[in-house]
Structure 1
């Protein structure tokens, strides 16, 4: 079997396309690169959607933390504190246990002439439950980044907005939010990189992979167990994540330049990758 045949058979196996059975033996480098790369699709899925949904929640939490209304500020502070103060792996475990306790048949909502059933069993699958955990976790960390940037907005910018007569939503949309993004973006880039790395924890969580459609680490462990040689599949996994990190740095760097396009080149903050060893 040629490498092109292997890619054709296993390239999209992690999402249910191609060969249903895993290779039984005669594992080549092409098998390992293809299947681990196929599993990376799920890591990208978790990272992209958690980052997308978390971005909007993080903005809302940052504004709530900066609010003078205690009914908005306190819940936001406690949400950020809980998810930043506890390990991500423990969050996976606890939220999985909570989702398992939900009724398997779902919730029945009587509507008079009929009854609406809201299914809950799908929440315990990795594609949904693990995504929820990552979404909540990155929202908490990003909210703290945005909150710090919001407090760091120069007073001159605020005074200039007031001088132009900007108030309320117009002031926030045209002055406060863009400035907050410019200040927060380098740190937010680090958070995005860490989030994609954290998607590997889904493999160790209680959320099951359906029909062996696992992530990159799932297939790396498969090859390590079958060949008794972890020094090939795990470096391949690391290689893929390095490529993913470089892609994120390039993409977020481009957005950073766009956010700072009106500033002289020397004043644009350069991104510095500072990996977080312990979170």
Structure 2
């Protein structure tokens, strides 16, 4: 079988397109790269969805934690404390067991004029349940990063906005939020990188893969188990994540440059990747 045929057969296998059965013997390097690369689709999916939705919640958490109102500030503080204070691996297992305990037929919600029954069985699947856990986890970490940036906004910027008569939402949208992002972006870039790396934990969690078509680590482990040689599939897996990290750094670097475009060159913050060994 040619490498092109292998890519055609297995390139999109992780999302249900292509051959259903995995190769059993005589594994080629092309099969390693193709199947592990196919699994990366799920890792990118987990990270991208969690990152986009988590960014919005993180902003709300940071604003809530910075609030002067007790009943707004305390829930935000406890949310950050719980998800930053417990290991992500444990969060996966607790979430899975919680979702399993929910009725599989759905939960009745009475809105007064209509009663709806949303399905709950999908929460036990990796594509949704694991994404929810990653979303909440990154929202807590990012919320703390944004909160620190909020506290670091120069008072002069806020006072200047007040002097121009800007209050409430206009002041937040035009002054506070852009400054918060500019100050937080280098640290937030590292959080985004770590989030994509953390998607490999989905393989070890209780969430089952969709129709046994798992992520990149699923295929790397498959090759390692079949060949008893982990020194081929796992370096390939690491290579893919290095490429993904470089892509994230490039995209976030471009956004960082955009956020700091009004500053002199010597005052612009550079993005530096600092790997987190322990979280």
Gapped regions of structure 2 (runs ≥ 5): none
Gapped regions of structure 1 (runs ≥ 5): none
Q: Tell me the distance in 2 between the aligned counterparts of 1:117 and 1:239.
A: 44
Residue 176 to residue 222, structure 1, CA distance change in 2 (3 Å): same
Q: Tell me the distance in 1 between the aligned counterparts of 2:227 and 2:251.
A: 37
Aligned 1:17-56 pairs, distance under 5 A: 17-56=17-56
Three-state SS of the structure 2 residue aligned to 1:118 is coil
Q: Tell me the distance in 1 between the aligned counterparts of 2:245 and 2:181.
A: 21
Q: How many angstroms does 1:210 deviate by?
A: 2.1
Q: Tell me the distance in 2 between the aligned counterparts of 1:114 and 1:151.
A: 44
Three-state SS of the structure 1 residue aligned to 2:117 is strand
Return the TM-score normalized by structure 2: 0.98
Matched with 1:121 is 121
Matched with 1:180 is 180
Matched with 1:266 is 266
2:252 is the alignment partner of 1:252: yes
Aligned 1:76-225 pairs, distance under 5 A: 76-109=76-109, 116-225=116-225
Q: How many angstroms does 1:110 deviate by?
A: 6.0
Aligned length: 279
Q: Tell me the distance in 2 between the aligned counterparts of 1:66 and 1:116.
A: 36
Return the TM-score normalized by structure 1: 0.98
Q: Tell me the distance in 1 between the aligned counterparts of 2:122 and 2:172.
A: 39
Deviations 1:202-227 (A, max 9, x none): 00000001222100000000000001
Q: Tell me the distance in 2 between the aligned counterparts of 1:2 and 1:157.
A: 62
Q: Tell me the distance in 2 between the aligned counterparts of 1:57 and 1:173.
A: 16
Q: Tell me the distance in 2 between the aligned counterparts of 1:221 and 1:40.
A: 13
Matched with 2:59 is 59
Q: Do 2:127 and 2:210's aligned partners in 1 also have CA atoms closer than 8 Å?
A: no
Q: Tell me the distance in 2 between the aligned counterparts of 1:196 and 1:109.
A: 35
Q: Tell me the distance in 2 between the aligned counterparts of 1:108 and 1:71.
A: 29
Q: Tell me the distance in 2 between the aligned counterparts of 1:33 and 1:113.
A: 54
Q: Tell me the distance in 2 between the aligned counterparts of 1:187 and 1:112.
A: 45
Residue 117 to residue 159, structure 1, CA distance change in 2 (3 Å): closer
